[in-house]
């Protein structure tokens, strides 16, 4: 589940191992490789003393800015990483280590820790990362026949116990107005009654403004509910002025 080298532009984790006057050498956390961090890629602006910006032993998030696979030569940059990329990478790495821990626990629960390397090779046929396998379990899509049945069962049980399924929410803003002014409130209540029967929540924000929203573990299913609710409301055009905004 480990690639030899990262790709150009990839966001990676590095440990700074040795600082020189014009740059630093880094160990790649997720790859069996090293990289060079030029002083010009440490931070924006002129750097008089590199030690004011980085220290040996520091773990940080970097972007790959040069790759030569034949020489296994890599250059990385700290300054080209945005705050969002840094946050996302740290979260991704933590999730991957957590998923790997669950997988090792599954092998132990099946009393097959002595066959862990063999089991990991089988897992690599299913996914590139442990977190991908974790997602398969959460979505009930982990196939049978590749992992040993007892390891698969243990992994599913550990994930179910420790991971809360993702929940998606989709909401639209709605404006409803009576066209002829007669029986408008009754018609609106009837329309929203049909919407709520679909499992869609209706929130009153002050006439004529409302919000419809739905939650669930599958984004397509949740969005599908909202689209069905929109179709219900559009049936009342003629009696009501209907405007729906995502």
Identify whether the C-beta of residue 146 lies closer than 8 Å to the C-beta of residue 168: no
CATH code for the domain defined by 168-245: 3.30.70.1130
Helices vs strands, H then E, count in the chain: 6, 9
Distances (CA, A) of 71 to 2, 17, 203: 19, 20, 61
Phi first, then psi: give them for residue 146, nearest 5 degrees. Answer: -105, -55
pTM reported for the whole predicted model: 0.64
Residues forming a β-bridge with 202 = 212
Three-state SS at 239: coil
Q: Which fold has domain 13-80?
A: OB fold (Dihydrolipoamide Acetyltransferase, E2P) (2.40.50)
Give how far the C-alpha of residue 46 lies from the chain's centroid of Cα atoms, to the nearest Å. 36
pLDDT in tens, the chain (246 residues): 556 899 999 999 999 999 999 999 999 999 999 999 999 999 999 999 999 999 999 999 999 999 999 999 999 999 999 999 999 999 999 999 999 999 999 999 999 989 999 998 988 888 889 999 998 898 888 898 888 999 999 999 999 999 887 778 889 999 988 887 666 788 888 999 999 999 999 998 887 899 999 988 778 888 899 999 999 999 988 888 888 887
Strands (E), the chain: 11-20, 23-28, 34-38, 59-68, 73-77, 168-178, 201-204, 209-216, 240-245
The pair of three-digit structure tokens given for residue 152, joined into one six-digit string: 């698969």
What is the per-residue pLDDT for 128? 87
Distances (CA, A) of 20 to 45, 49, 109, 239: 18, 10, 47, 75
Ramachandran area for residue 238 (φ above 0: left; ψ -120 to 50: alpha; else beta): left
What is the per-residue pLDDT for 245? 86
The pair of three-digit structure tokens given for residue 24, joined into one six-digit string: 């630093």
Give the integer Cα–Cα distance in Å for 181 and 208.
Answer: 13
**Domain positions in the chain:** 13-80, 84-162, 168-245
Identify whether the C-beta of residue 90 lies closer than 8 Å to the C-beta of residue 78: no
Residue with tokens 């869609």: 200
Give the integer Cα–Cα distance in Å for 84 and 195.
Answer: 37
């Amino acid at each position: 589940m480990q690639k030899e080298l990262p790709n150009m532009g990839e966001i990676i984790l590095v440990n700074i191992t040795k600082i020189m006057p014009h740059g630093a050498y880094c160990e790649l956390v997720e790859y069996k490789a090293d990289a060079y961090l030029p002083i010009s890629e440490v931070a924006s602006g002129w750097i008089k003393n590199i030690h004011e910006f980085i220290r040996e032993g520091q773990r940080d998030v970097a972007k790959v800015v040069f790759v030569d696979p034949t020489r296994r030569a890599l250059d990385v940059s700290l300054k080209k990483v945005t705050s969002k990329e840094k946050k996302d990478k740290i979260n991704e790495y933590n999730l991957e280590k957590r998923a790997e821990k669950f997988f090792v626990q599954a092998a132990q629960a099946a009393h097959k820790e002595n066959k862990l390397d063999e089991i990991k090779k089988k897992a690599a046929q299913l996914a590139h990362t442990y977190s991908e396998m974790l997602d398969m379990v959460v979505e009930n899509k982990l196939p049978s026949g590749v992992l040993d049945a007892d390891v698969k069962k243990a992994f599913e049980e550990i994930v179910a116990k420790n991971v809360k399924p993702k929940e998606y929410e989709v909401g639209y803003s709605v404006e409803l107005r009576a066209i002829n002014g007669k029986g408008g409130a009754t018609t609106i209540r009837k329309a929203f009654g049909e919407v709520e029967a679909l499992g869609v929540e209706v929130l009153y924000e002050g006439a004529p403004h409302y919000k419809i929203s739905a939650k669930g573990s599958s984004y397509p299913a949740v969005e599908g509910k909202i689209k069905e609710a929109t179709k219900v409301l559009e049936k009342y055009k003629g009696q009501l002025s209907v405007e729906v905004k995502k």
